[in-house]
Amino acid sequence: MNINDLELFILVAEQGSFAKAAESLNTRRALVSRRIAELEKQLGAPLFTRTTRAMSLTPSGELYLEQISPLLKQLKNAAMVFKNRYNEVQGSIRVGLLPFVDKILDHKIASFVHTYPQVKLDIEVVSGGYKDISRLELDLVIDINHIQDNQFVAKKLLSFERKIYASPGYLEKSSVIENLNDLQYQSLLGFRGTSGLVEEKWRFQQNTISANHKVVCSDYNSLYNLCLGGAGITLLPQVIAQEAVENNQLINVLPELSAGFTDLTLIYPVDHAFSSAAKVFVEHLTRQKS
């Protein structure tokens, strides 16, 4: 059985169409259809239900997709590890991370470390975001800023959602919170971005409130720890607060509200002479899915 045919089957299932799959591969629809038919013949079962209007997976096709998808992913990862170890990418990379970024990118960074064992990561915790690149002689920084500077390249890695959190201990002592306006009578913990600006207003889907902060912090780790200790209510990335919520250490206050999504961005100077190690680091982070 040809692994390329299995990859084609997954692509057709994702695209939901022979024509779309053929277009993405820059080939003919008839060729895609024939290869899938040959695969079905080898398996002895139809994978797709075909009509003049639509195409969908059969129960056998759904089961087959569920079985082979993780196997193909493992094969690809194994091939990548072997290839990279054979090529022996070496060197060191100086990376700047905001204090909370390790909690969001831990799996991606760990994956890079295992994939490129000859590369040394020198990680510096930064407070000034991408502005610290020159001062600290970094190769790149992972920031939350939307930069408007043609001297830098910015590549989006992922987005994280922010919601409202407080500790059970704080909520036991506070007045009842039934709606957004009730937050104005609470101890609010605010965030100061790397630009130096404090988030004076908390903006949600349909409403905005002016936040009279009792405490302001320049990193989400501090906000998380202060919130965990019962100092007040704050906006946190959901990915940071999730474990504490599951352990009943934090509560998502007014869970129907969202402060929206913020992009995590990889930033480096346009004219920076990247080493091979830095290049594969950028490729790895921008390629890997969360």
Task: Indicate the pTM of the whole model.
Answer: 0.62
User: What is the spatial distance between Cα 80 and Cα 33, in angstroms, rounded to a whole number?
Assistant: 29
pLDDT at 128 (0 to 100): 79
Mean pLDDT by 10 residues, the chain (290 residues): 86 89 89 92 91 84 91 81 67 90 88 90 87 89 80 89 96 93 93 84 90 90 94 94 95 94 90 85 78
Which residue is listed with tokens 């502005």? 131
Architecture per CATH, domain 89-158+264-287, reads as 3-Layer(aba) Sandwich (3.40)
pLDDT at 288 (0 to 100): 57
Structure tokens at 170: 């704080």
Q: Which CATH number fits domain 3-86: 3.40.50.720, 1.10.10.10, 1.10.3210.10, 3.40.50.300?
A: 1.10.10.10
pLDDT at 130 (0 to 100): 83
Residue partners of 79: CB distance under 8 A and separation at least 6: none
pLDDT at 93 (0 to 100): 94
Structure tokens at 19: 């024509």
Alpha helix positions (H), the chain: 3-15, 18-25, 29-43, 59-87, 101-115, 132-135, 168-173, 220-228, 238-246, 276-287
pLDDT at 275 (0 to 100): 86
Sequence spans of domains, the chain: 3-86, 89-158+264-287, 160-260
Torsion sign across C-alpha atoms 98, 99, 105, 111: positive
The C-alpha angle with vertex 125 and arms to 120 and 126, in degrees rounded to 5, equals 125
